[in-house]
Amino acid sequence: MHSTNLSRRSLLTGLAASVAALSPVSLFAQADRVLRVTKTPSCGCCGAWIDMARAHGFAVEVTDSYDYAGMKAAAGVPDDLLSCHTATIGGYAVEGHVPFAAIDHMLATRPDITGISVPDMPPESPGMGGDRDAIVPVTAWGGSAGAGAPYPFAD
């Protein structure tokens, strides 16, 4: 009889742990690590950044598109902050070769912004010659950042 109770207790403990793992909070946290990248099919630097994003721990979904202007418009990226690829994650837009530390910071702090960008394609940025931990200036836009403001994420 004692072993039956232990089995029920183990079953209930396991069931509770399973429910907790599937709770909306944990599902949101997992969804928050999915980076959806839209890029042009022939962009090699975008592929390098995507590989680094995966190595950093993001799940990455890639869509190739020849509609450069459309992918930028869909994410609400201002003209002066354009770069090569556009991504979305956790309700934010990420434009170009943004350092992964900036994306992590944005997801952790949830600022009132639309997104972050590394305009143009700086040669020292991740995927453009800089390594996965490269740090370059990042600009935020929308919400409290307005038309664009430096995004402080690193010491």
- Per-residue burial over 96-130, b if 16 or more Cβ lie within 10 Å, else e, is bbbbbbbbebbeeeebebbbbbbbebbeebbbbeb
Using CA atoms of 18, 103, 108, 89 in order, give the dihedral in degrees to the nearest 10: -50
Residue 30 confidence class, pLDDT cut points 50, 70, 90: low
Same domain, 66 and 112: yes
Same domain, 98 and 131: yes
155 part of a folded domain = no
Same domain, 10 and 41: no
100 part of a folded domain = yes
Which H or E run contains 34?
strand 34-39
Same domain, 72 and 18: no
Distance CA 154, CA 55 (A): 20
Same domain, 122 and 60: yes
62 part of a folded domain = yes
pLDDT at 127: 92
45 part of a folded domain = yes
| Domain tally, the chain | 2
pLDDT of 139 higher than 90: yes
Which residue do the tokens 């183990």 mark?
10
For 142, the domain range is: 32-150
**pTM, whole model, 2 decimals?**
0.79
Same domain, 74 and 146: yes
Residues 71-111 pLDDT 10s: 999 999 999 999 999 999 999 999 999 999 999 999 999 99
Same domain, 18 and 37: no
Same domain, 19 and 62: no
Residue 33 confidence class, pLDDT cut points 50, 70, 90: confident
Same domain, 43 and 109: yes
Same domain, 118 and 137: yes
111 part of a folded domain = yes
73 part of a folded domain = yes
Residue 153 confidence class, pLDDT cut points 50, 70, 90: confident
128 part of a folded domain = yes
Residues 41-67 pLDDT 10s: 988 889 999 999 999 999 999 999 999
> Contact 97/122 with Cβ under 8 angstroms?
yes
Same domain, 144 and 93: yes
Same domain, 53 and 8: no
